Amino acid sequence: MKRLLRDDGGTVAAPLPPNIQKARDDSGLTTRELEVADLLLNERTYQHKAIAKALGISQRTVEIHLSNIGAKLGAKSKAHILLLWRDINRQPADHDCRCDCRRSSTP
């Protein structure tokens, strides 16, 4: 997830485009489930231990969140969650950014 620099030197999450925010809201995921899904997608953190450490929760809690995410998105595996979440968070082809999202996503 993109971050913006605050005046005091800290960072804050960049606002999402309205279409992506709506898709995320419609997913029915809790705030913590969104964080787990975002780590899985954006940080390429596939290990439960790394996700748990990043969020300060147990590995078992990560497993429960991933199970809940899978149930809500209709995914059968962590890889399927990743693909569905990538599609939900995909930017439109004409967005203006400096990331490599156009090269890494499929049409």
Judge whether residue 39 has pLDDT over 70.
yes
C-alpha to C-alpha distances, 32 to 17, 28, 66, 89, nearest whole angstrom? 20, 12, 10, 16
Q: Kindly state whether residue 105 falls inside one of the protein's structural domains.
A: no
Instruction: Name the token pair of 107.
Output: 């049409």
Q: Kindly state whether residue 16 falls inside one of the protein's structural domains.
A: no
DSSP 88: H
Q: How many domains does the chain have?
A: 1
DSSP 90: P
Q: Kindly state whether residue 3 falls inside one of the protein's structural domains.
A: yes
Q: pLDDT band at residue 4, thresholds of 50, 70 and 90? A: very low
User: Tens digits of per-residue pLDDT, 77-93?
Assistant: 988 998 888 888 775 55
Q: At 8, phi and psi to the nearest 5?
A: -85, 5
Q: Kindly state whether residue 94 falls inside one of the protein's structural domains.
A: no
Q: Kindly state whether residue 82 falls inside one of the protein's structural domains.
A: yes
Is residue 81 classed exposed, middle or buried when 0-12, 13-18 and 19+ CB atoms within 10 A define those classes? buried
Distance, in Å, from the CA atom of 107 to the CA atom of 104, rounded to the nearest integer, reads: 10
Mean pLDDT, range 47-69, rounded to an integer? 92
Range of the domain at 73: 1-7+24-88
User: Tens digits of per-residue pLDDT, 65-74?
Assistant: 999 999 998 9
Domain CATH code at residue 35:
1.10.10.10
Q: Is the pTM of this model over 0.85?
A: no
Q: Kindly state whether residue 95 falls inside one of the protein's structural domains.
A: no
Q: Kindly state whether residue 33 falls inside one of the protein's structural domains.
A: yes
Judge whether residue 13 has pLDDT over 60.
no
**Of the candidate ranges 15-24, 43-52, 67-76, the one whose mean pLDDT is the lowest:** 15-24
